[in-house]
Structure 1
Amino acid sequence: MISVIVCTYNRREYLPDCLKHLVKQSAQHEDYEVLIIDNNSTDNTATIAQDLIKDHPDLNAQYFCEMNQGHTYARNRGIKEAKGEILSFIDDDAFVDYNFIKEIQFYFKQHAEVSAIGGKILPVYEGKHPKWMSKYLLTLVSALDMGNSPKKFKGSKFPIGANMAFRADVFEKYGHFNTDLGRRGSGLEGGDEKEVFLRLKKENEEIHYVPKVKVDHIIPEKRLTMEYIKGLGIGVGSSEKRRVTNSGFTETMKKIISETIKVCATFILFFFYFIQGKFAQAKMLVKFRFWVLQGYLK
């Protein structure tokens, strides 16, 4: 069975559609459960969840309120309550494909060596496509498209939290999400899923990209403002500082080397886009890298 864990916080405008897509699956309802983890929302999230459960008694859905504020607390609550052999995590503004459950089941059955997967995440912009967007900045909108063929996540690549799934025993072996990391309320910190995947990679666990496990991810206009992107960059930097500080000297040195390489790569890409006349894309690459460094160093 698949346990689909939807962690949510004050997303009443998207949560109903997110849940409707989970109701309308090609898989039989007995093949999966839906766990709605409300991270102490102040809107009517509880009512939305309870109405869905009441309107669809044939769906194995449950609602839980996690009072500890923080995305990682909500994710860990989902792990605790889940009964499935596979745990799938999606964002509350992600709408799953019709065959989402079946594709997760199929891939894990066919690949016994795989411990975790990350699916395709397609951005759906509520406003105009931002001129500054490039394939190197898609992670800013939690998008992921590595093509149409399954493959292993190599090197520093890893799945994105809006669409990821694990065998349940992964968390028994390696522990849960680190509650020192991740978003809290409306904050923009992150790094919690990255830290889990780094643990798995350290133990040589197989993590695959599976394009048929796909979701549409809604991107509101407010997530494309300079103020939001700056906050996100600073949040990424501060989360990374916290992660490597807790991991010791070796990880700190690896991070310094990694950031040095990224800075060099950013300037190379800047000139590449600049000579093509793509000034907005060139400028944003430099801005975002600066904000990440600002968050890391402060």
Structure 2
Amino acid sequence: MDSGISVIICCYNSASRLPQTIAHLAKQSINSDIKWEIIIVDNASTDDSAGVAAKEWKKYDTCIPFTIHTENRPGLNFARQKGISVSKYSYLLFCDDDNWLNEDYLARGYNILAADAKIGALGGIGIPVFEGTKPEWFDKFQLYYAVGRQSELQGDVSRSKSWIYGAGMMINREAIKNLDKHRFLTTDRKGKSLSSGGDMELCFFILTQDFSIWYDEELIFKHFIEIGRLEMNYLKRMMMAGAKAAYLLDGLRFIAQGAVKPVRIKRNWIVRFVIDNIKVYKVFRSNELPLHFQLKLHFVRISRILKLNFDYDRSFKLYKW
């Protein structure tokens, strides 16, 4: 695999957002010795996102490779996997369709990853740019929008935070070489749905592969936030989707944490975990996902880590699933 950066932009009806995103990529200040490419993945758009992207890139008359691919399965995770499969460089950058990268983003990210082969995922800090007026509640909930400080400390956050947001995330390809064997529990953004958790799941997977999660506040990008996303109802939908994702990923989270630090939890914790998650299941009951099977799988995984025995089938009958 050639050393370089594959910038992957996943799009769903992104025609209005792509011009600024592409313009900032065209302004990247990076050593000519570092190879890079831009990959557009059109995830079932209906607004000619791909055509807009191609037309915009032509304005800059650059020799940087620019390709467009289609992923018809709805869901950001599927789109990212498509981008990974067609990419050709050692490092991957997930640039959302509303991310405006600082001019040194690619160069700085490349240098950080190249300096430490055990960094699996690298994240920076998003600075919000509002289409409308900033809501008074925004700062309190800014992480839901993938902006703001991701950690009190910089550097390796594997043991403390364990994940970084997907916007602007860079990945060492070696850390995900076994990703095709992983069955994703989340779809992440899916059409108009605000389903989430793909960034968390990817980071948890990377930790299980014996790589670290890294955070650098000099890695800066602007995150454009459209006015429709600044409504309280939108925030509530995001929070609900985030809670659902956290519930689905509990098992993988414990596997990931066990990979970077000892897990010491008493036996009675697993009983409380079962009861709490059954309550959550009732809230998030959905025909879209067989959550009861996912939950049972999480219990099995956690039990193996903690070396516990638990009668799952009996508990399911007891709580009348």
TM-score (norm 2): 0.73
Instruction: Decide whether the 8 Å contact of 1:238 with 1:295 is kept in 2.
Output: no
Deviation at 1:91, TM superposition (A): 0.8
Instruction: Decide whether the 8 Å contact of 1:240 with 1:296 is kept in 2.
Output: no
Q: 2-side partners of 1:93 and 1:222: how far apart?
A: 14
Q: 1-side partners of 2:31 and 2:254: how far apart?
A: 47
Residues 192/295 of structure 1: CA separation in 2 closer, same or farther (3 Å cut):
farther
Q: 2-side partners of 1:177 and 1:52: how far apart?
A: 36
Q: Secondary structure at the match of 1:194?
A: helix
Q: Structure 1 residue 141 and structure 2 residue 127: aligned?
A: no
Instruction: Decide whether the 8 Å contact of 1:181 with 1:239 is kept in 2.
Output: no
Aligned residues: 262
Corresponding residue to 1:178 among 174, 184, 194: 184
The equivalent of 1:159 in structure 2 is 164
Corresponding residue to 1:113 among 113, 118, 129: 118
The equivalent of 2:18 in structure 1 is 15
Q: Structure 1 residue 82 and structure 2 residue 116: aligned?
A: no
The equivalent of 1:239 in structure 2 is 245
Q: 1-side partners of 2:153 and 2:27: how far apart?
A: 25
Q: Which moved more, 1:155-164 or 1:197-206?
A: 197-206
Deviation at 1:157, TM superposition (A): 4.2
Q: 1-side partners of 2:162 and 2:151: how far apart?
A: 14
Instruction: Decide whether the 8 Å contact of 1:100 with 1:214 is kept in 2.
Output: yes
Instruction: Decide whether the 8 Å contact of 2:176 with 2:206 is kept in 1.
Output: no
Deviation at 1:229, TM superposition (A): 1.0
Q: Greater CA radius of gyration, 1 or 2?
A: 2
Q: 2-side partners of 1:166 and 1:151: how far apart?
A: 15
Deviation at 1:131, TM superposition (A): 0.9
1:163-242 equivalences in 2 (<5 Å):
163-175=168-180, 178=184, 180-242=186-248
Q: 2-side partners of 1:295 and 1:214: how far apart?
A: 37
The equivalent of 1:70 in structure 2 is 75
Matched to 1:139, the amino acid is: L
Q: 2-side partners of 1:131 and 1:192: how far apart?
A: 28
- Residues 233-260 of structure 1 show CA distances to partners (whole Å, capped at 9, x for unaligned) of 12112223333478999x9x67x76xx9
Instruction: Decide whether the 8 Å contact of 1:234 with 1:294 is kept in 2.
Output: no
Query: Please, what is the CA RMSD of the aligned residues?
Result: 3.0
The equivalent of 1:52 in structure 2 is 56
- Residues 176-214 of structure 1 show CA distances to partners (whole Å, capped at 9, x for unaligned) of 682643121010011111012112234442111012222
1:274-289 equivalences in 2 (<5 Å):
none
Q: Secondary structure at the match of 1:134?
A: helix
Residues 148/19 of structure 1: CA separation in 2 closer, same or farther (3 Å cut):
farther
Instruction: Decide whether the 8 Å contact of 1:38 with 1:63 is kept in 2.
Output: yes
Q: Secondary structure at the match of 1:189?
A: coil
1:26-41 equivalences in 2 (<5 Å):
26-28=29-31, 31-41=35-45
Residues 160/170 of structure 1: CA separation in 2 closer, same or farther (3 Å cut):
same
Corresponding residue to 2:7 among 4, 8, 13: 4
Runs of 4+ aligned residues of structure 1 deviating over 6 Å after TM superposition are 245-249
Instruction: Decide whether the 8 Å contact of 2:162 with 2:204 is kept in 1.
Output: no
TM-score (norm 1): 0.78
Residues 174/77 of structure 1: CA separation in 2 closer, same or farther (3 Å cut):
closer
Taking every aligned residue pair, what percent have the same amino acid on both sides? 25
Unaligned runs of 5+ in 2: 258-268, 287-321
Deviation at 1:9, TM superposition (A): 0.8
Unaligned runs of 5+ in 1: 261-291
